[in-house]
Amino acid sequence: MLQVVSSFCVLLFSLGLDQAYVRDYHESVDKPALLKAALLPGLLLLVVGLAFCFIVPDFISQALFSVDSVLISVLVALCFGATFVSRFLSLILRMQEKGLAFSMSQVLPKLLFLSVIGFYILFSFGFDFLYLIIAQTLSVVAVTLVYGWNTRQEWLAALSRKIDREKLKPMLRFGAPLIMGGVAFWGLTAMDKLFLRSLSTFEELGIYSVASSFAAVAVILQSIFSTVWAPTVYKWAAEGINTEHIDQITEYVLVAVVILFSLAGIFSWVVTYLLPPSYASVQYVLVPCMAYPLFYTLSEATGVGLGIARKSAYTMIASILAVVINYIGNYWLIPIFGAAGAAIATASAFWVFLVVRTEFAIIVWRRMPRLKLYCLTLTCLVVSIFFVFLGREHYSLFVLLWCGGLCVSLLSLFLKRGVKV
């Protein structure tokens, strides 16, 4: 609950200005002033919101955890504030292309959290909820301090700058639709588990959660690409670089998506050696679970024109439409198929998200070749759905299909790089 609400607070109180900061960074002459304009409004709103919560001192701990504790409320408030500030400080490193510092700051909170838990175990104390909250808060505050040290020149310069209200207005217009779009996307990624909890059994929820955990390998690609892609493209747009580069990158991302789908299908049997027999169906649910990170990564490439053209409202519409599809799919399929139904509904919703986001980018920015993109991704989606239901009886056939997809993708990659095959 702490992690879910923390991410929601960043999404809500940032007012979309974090994305506006990324969008305007390379076009801004006074970057410290841009940082202050992006960070300060949301930070003030967050502080006011937390102050209201402390009218009843233990309100936060009671609302989130059903625990009466002022100390836990204070720690959670500190965690929210540190998470919010670290979000904006991390963007400085990201936009300055300081990859190593950014990566280390992403890993540090996990390492510190595990270190504190290890300390508890080693010295046999702290086995209660309060100490768990302390460990989480320490890790978040520590990473904020590291971000603060690495970006001290930028934020120290920002302290003396004045906010340009005329500059802030278009930033808010750009960011406001992203709040609704972000909330919709947040619901899109959480809806499957909520429906499984209410419409199915804990066993099905466990199978789906484990399959999603294995599929999270693809989230690495999504995270790396999303971190690098948007700043790079906005920089290209500011410098007037030929847009054919974007089409080339999109082609490579498409090949990577098909390759990862194929590898997941070919080697899904491996998970049966890592899990108990009751989780045997994970190997079939795993492949459609790959759709969320892979289709979303591809949509980041094909839909970048929405950011360049400052038409963020279209991203919100795409997210809301995908949420509706996901809601209908989960409501209809989960009572019948359980975890398999959740995987199919979410995969289908993200394919719709990819198509709608791409089409909107074409409308507001420029045309791009997309027939092959839609055909290949739809083929991956359909084969992964059939794999869920027919994989047990026709496993060899599906392995051949996935091997064929892998060979075609690799051949396409070699030909694009000019390699003689």
Residue 168 domain flag: no
DSSP codes, 209-251: HHHHHHHTHHHHHHHHHHHHHHHHHHHHHHHT--THHHHHHHH
State how far the Cα of 298 lies from the Cα of 214, in Å rounded to an integer.
Answer: 20
Q: 3-class SS at 290?
A: coil
Residue 52 domain flag: yes
Tell me: do 155 and 179 sit in the same domain: no
For residue range 358-368, list pLDDT tens digits in order: 999 999 888 88
Last residue of a domain, one of 110, 145, 163: 163
Q: What is the number of structural domains in the chain?
A: 2
For residue range 362-392, list pLDDT tens digits in order: 998 888 888 889 999 999 999 999 999 998 8
State how far the Cα of 218 lies from the Cα of 225, in Å rounded to an integer.
Answer: 11
Q: How many CB atoms lie within 10 A of CB 35?
A: 24
- Calculate what percentage of the chain has a pLDDT beyond 70: 94
Last residue of a domain, one of 163, 181, 200: 163
pLDDT for the residue numbered 328: 94
More confident residue, 93 or 391: 391
Distance from the Cα of residue 284 to its chain's centroid: 24
User: pLDDT class for 400, splitting at 50, 70, 90?
Assistant: very high
Tell me: do 94 and 116 sit in the same domain: yes
Question: What pTM does this model have?
Answer: 0.72
Backbone phi and psi for residue 353, each to the nearest 5 degrees, phi listed first: -60, -45
Tell me: do 140 and 214 sit in the same domain: no
Backbone phi and psi for residue 30, each to the nearest 5 degrees, phi listed first: -105, 90
Are the C-beta atoms of 288 and 347 separated by less than 8 Å?
Answer: yes
State how far the Cα of 2 lies from the Cα of 64, in Å rounded to an integer.
Answer: 8
Closest CA to 312 of 26, 23, 10: 23
Tell me: do 51 and 195 sit in the same domain: no
Instruction: Quote the Cα angle for 259-347-311, to 5°.
Output: 95
**pLDDT at 277 exceeding the cut of 70:** yes
Domain that holds residue 49: 2-163
Tell me: do 103 and 228 sit in the same domain: no
pLDDT for the residue numbered 419: 39
Tell me: do 356 and 262 sit in the same domain: yes
Residue 75 domain flag: yes
More confident residue, 166 or 131: 131
Within 8 A by CB and 6+ apart from 86, the residues are 105, 140, 143, 144, 147
Tell me: do 29 and 121 sit in the same domain: yes
Dihedral (CA of 243, 245, 249, 250) sign: positive
Tell me: do 179 and 102 sit in the same domain: no
For residue range 174-224, list pLDDT tens digits in order: 777 777 777 777 777 778 887 887 888 878 888 998 898 888 778 777 777
For residue range 232-258, list pLDDT tens digits in order: 777 777 777 667 778 888 888 999 999
Residue 421 domain flag: no
C-alpha distances in Å from residue 62, one per residue of 12, 21, 45, 82, 127: 21, 35, 22, 21, 20
Tell me: do 231 and 88 sit in the same domain: no
User: pLDDT class for 147, splitting at 50, 70, 90?
Assistant: confident
